Structure 1
């Protein structure tokens, strides 16, 4: 979809990768779905046939027509006060469209195999695209104003209120196309990129993996990769590999089509490299991202390679198989958390840091804002969707009771709290760049982990917890940068022609060998595991934001522990409440941090290295 008028992304904010759990195996069966809460989308609409939904779309269409009639080819002549009023009307109409689209996305995420829901989702997407296309001129004409003319208008408080949104809009100035071309791209998206994304999602949702004679969903199969029994892990891994391989031609075609689509648009928009639009949207300089990627890749030997070599020794193996990556330790204590236990652990950790943080988090449990149980057809992984400021966020989980599921709850709840705090900024300015959007989520995980670790006195259980944290950090930092490198290579090579399934497999294995190291013996089935990663399809170059957030939070948490920033909790909540109004340098300045400092990322990685050092000592 064209970048100047947007509806909520198909992949909701903060989508967390579906992975095998952390290194704590099950003691009992996962919580029964009937015992777990589901969300109530009635705060948006009561159902696809809700008359309010139809009325909202009709009203938005009329308002968009009136907005166009009143402002097209006249934005440059607006006074500062009138420009501010125009942006406010643009925001009001956009919020209505966001509300409708959010409802359709959440309904579809709840069951991606229901044909009726699929048709409803497609229909809403087409209608919203048609309406928003009528307002596309507005952001384009805004960007045509020269800096001096705009500066004068921004002195009016009505326009000045939207200064940060206009600032961020204008970073795309040099990359916008004439309105007719922008509108064509925008309207064709529903039959182009969005259609391919939906095909990917629904294909994954329909896949079943034969394990021990019973069909398993992707969520169930991935969960078994953390089983205590190595043979069960192997069975699951081979089933996943076989299932993905059977559909690899389709997944390769989707990947090639979307990469080519991006290449064409990037060329027309004159972007220097495939990551450029994502970096601009994230409000982060190319040099900062390059420094992050370089620091993580240079750390492989001291982080992932060292840790997995140690893990192989714990298992009495010369090398690990891919299905051992998230395996529980041989002497790990069996543990499954009930939903009530998980909720208590996370809210207690949040409350120990800030009672207000816990109060905000508690709202998600006191209301039906979380969809918890795994079920056939439901989107795998986890996410937090902000919806619109006039409503509230929703969280989607696939809770299996593992320690990693508790950390996923802490992660997504962090996003949800962040979105609540930023909501007063309004629909145009509440949204946070992906790099900073991961701050609250990873910080919530760190609070929860530290609370659990500090409360544990048994050395064996403490080691198990440290192992779980290290593996989560490796999945968040090392694995995501490896994913980023895979994407970079795919998009670079795609410029010279379509990549075969085998070439995609080769690129995947190259980055996996580089990142995971010599401790692994890679089986053939693992070669096609790139095919299930939703971020590659939904949001190209999303994944480095996880590593950005993890390293940033490590530094931020160190400042908290040092006590050098008075009223740290208040400053932290104020940072979250800023939404998208401030850049990363301004947000981090009160904490004495600068992501542009070459040493910033190394300091963040030192926390991971320190945990591995501790494991070496206790081993």
Structure 2
């Protein structure tokens, strides 16, 4: 449903991205090596959490939502009946859109403020208070989409003859896909109100628990980001030490994470059962506006390609590192002779903007705005949300990007990834609060395309075969992490949720599922050592947005095919690409890809995308 809710993603609608694993640099202490790192300016949303504007908008949201319900509820069918006033329905939709914008602005601000320091009690309280008030206000809006969906199909179709209503046709047709799964108004209201104390509360517990964890390493007591970063240290002893520190702390908190996972899985099963979803992932497919058979074709293609992708690459990497097998802490180890020079923030910014500009000056101009207007928060800080995301906020404002920048090449690629999202969100914003949001599968297209542009620009500058080899290997590893690893995550979630339907799972049972799936995906060249059975605990996607993860593989394979079209196109590609991004959520993936001659429903489509990765591995094998 569109009515603003924060029960699934702690206020971050569709913005949770891959955790950033970079080498440890001691966090803020090393910031000087990287130059001045930007911190975002949230005053474009509100001046501060105690500002009169926040208080006023919270009151206005409550009052206007109550008024909207009193004046519009029970009247929608009449607006579309013979002799009815369609103009009143159009006016109601516009009022509803304005309320979504208002609620979205409040929740976006609270979410972003909280993400900057999740361990701060004052910010946590503010976030929780705003979430409760936004949820309470949005309860009065729940009726609107439910009631609109109960209007006869023929009456709705006839109403599209009106230009004002026709403008909202993509949104109306989109929400009507939810019709078979919607419940009675009172039950929807109960689900909505209890989301704050149900799934939303468990999401928040996960975030605050994870942010508060510390890991005892030989380098000292570190947070999650810095400890994960050590898994890419050139010193095997440091990688092993970090891996064992991760396992130790995860094990100490296993009961909490197991309870969170069991509770949220059961909560989802209850919702799915009441709504009539059969498969554990059907609700995600619906939200993504992608057919289950398309996802199944993607999963089958990737799992079938494990031997020629991840299995083959990790066996080759073991040889490069002089090992019979890689331990799990060696999987992301740097290759011998890898340049460990830290990339300054200015250099990273220039690299990405130049790559974007090589594709289109317009794309670089939009991305540059993020730097000039402080829409990016880059430093590592204790308590800051891990990983990276681009939050679209609301169309009347602009996106904000969060990074944990530590100066590695992969951090540059993460910057390119999130700015891809940011450009997409800026271009889609004119569609308005109801039609700008994009399904996750297509949202990842712009981000991965931004990565690909940056990688190809950097690869062209490789001055030696050794440097080209290292860059290709890093890209292959990133693609394996984006495609193979994310599909393995999806398979893990499926097995976990299916098993949970039979009863509560113990930590050992979840760990066994994790090890089975990871073993299948990584292959015989990777040894999963003791402690790795706990590593499922820190993946935020499993908690915030179940089954989100296949969107990464969808986007990566799609971009591989899309980039091949770009390389072969003589003219016009950029215009088609921007038209795709501007569409926001107004078109199905089949409509958006048709101008490029691509069809995601064709199983051969996925083989093309995977073939790009395979050919890169072929080239690397030729360099041995």
Q: TM-score, normalised by structure 2?
A: 0.96
**Equivalence for 2:376:** 370
After TM superposition, the structure 1 = structure 2 runs for residues 8-87 of structure 1, keeping only pairs within 5 Å, are 9-10=9-10, 11-21=12-22, 35-78=36-79, 79-87=85-93
Name structure 2 gaps, 5 residues minimum.
80-84
**Equivalence for 1:343:** 349
Cα offsets for 1:326-355 (capped at 9, x unmatched): 100122222210000100000000000000
Name structure 1 gaps, 5 residues minimum.
none
Give the secondary structure class of the aligned counterpart of 1:395: strand
Aligned with 1:603 (options 608, 612, 619): 608
* Contact 1:38–1:370, Cα closer than 8 Å, also in 2: yes
**Equivalence for 1:6:** 4
**CA distance, structure 2, for counterparts of residue 220 and residue 213 of structure 1:** 10
The range that moved more, 208-217 or 419-428, is: 208-217
RMSD over aligned CA atoms reads 1.6
The yes-or-no answer on 1:580 pairing with 2:589 is no
**Equivalence for 2:197:** 191
The yes-or-no answer on 1:490 pairing with 2:488 is no
CA deviation after TM superposition for structure 1 residue 158, in Å: 1.5
**Equivalence for 2:221:** 215
* Contact 1:45–1:53, Cα closer than 8 Å, also in 2: yes
* Contact 2:34–2:343, Cα closer than 8 Å, also in 1: no
**Compared CA separation, residues 407 and 33, structure 1 to 2 (3 A):** closer
CA deviation after TM superposition for structure 1 residue 65, in Å: 1.2
After TM superposition, the structure 1 = structure 2 runs for residues 373-522 of structure 1, keeping only pairs within 5 Å, are 373-522=379-528
**Equivalence for 2:185:** 179
Give the secondary structure class of the aligned counterpart of 2:195: helix
**Equivalence for 1:235:** 241
Cα offsets for 1:497-516 (capped at 9, x unmatched): 01100000000001100000
**CA distance, structure 1, for counterparts of residue 163 and residue 470 of structure 2:** 56
After TM superposition, the structure 1 = structure 2 runs for residues 87-126 of structure 1, keeping only pairs within 5 Å, are 87-126=93-132
CA deviation after TM superposition for structure 1 residue 455, in Å: 1.3
After TM superposition, the structure 1 = structure 2 runs for residues 303-342 of structure 1, keeping only pairs within 5 Å, are 303-342=309-348
**CA distance, structure 2, for counterparts of residue 452 and residue 231 of structure 1:** 31
After TM superposition, the structure 1 = structure 2 runs for residues 122-161 of structure 1, keeping only pairs within 5 Å, are 122-161=128-167
The yes-or-no answer on 1:359 pairing with 2:369 is no
* Contact 1:23–1:327, Cα closer than 8 Å, also in 2: no
**Equivalence for 2:270:** 264
**CA distance, structure 2, for counterparts of residue 429 and residue 529 of structure 1:** 37
CA deviation after TM superposition for structure 1 residue 7, in Å: 3.6
**Equivalence for 1:570:** 575
* Contact 2:131–2:196, Cα closer than 8 Å, also in 1: yes
Give the secondary structure class of the aligned counterpart of 2:615: helix
Aligned pair count?
614
CA deviation after TM superposition for structure 1 residue 88, in Å: 0.5
* Contact 1:346–1:448, Cα closer than 8 Å, also in 2: yes
**Equivalence for 1:552:** 558
**CA distance, structure 1, for counterparts of residue 467 and residue 383 of structure 2:** 36
* Contact 2:24–2:226, Cα closer than 8 Å, also in 1: no
CA deviation after TM superposition for structure 1 residue 30, in Å: 6.1
**Equivalence for 1:167:** 173
* Contact 1:225–1:236, Cα closer than 8 Å, also in 2: yes
Cα offsets for 1:364-410 (capped at 9, x unmatched): 00011000001100000000000001000000000011111000000
Cα offsets for 1:225-252 (capped at 9, x unmatched): 1111111111111101111111011000
Aligned with 1:613 (options 614, 618, 623): 618
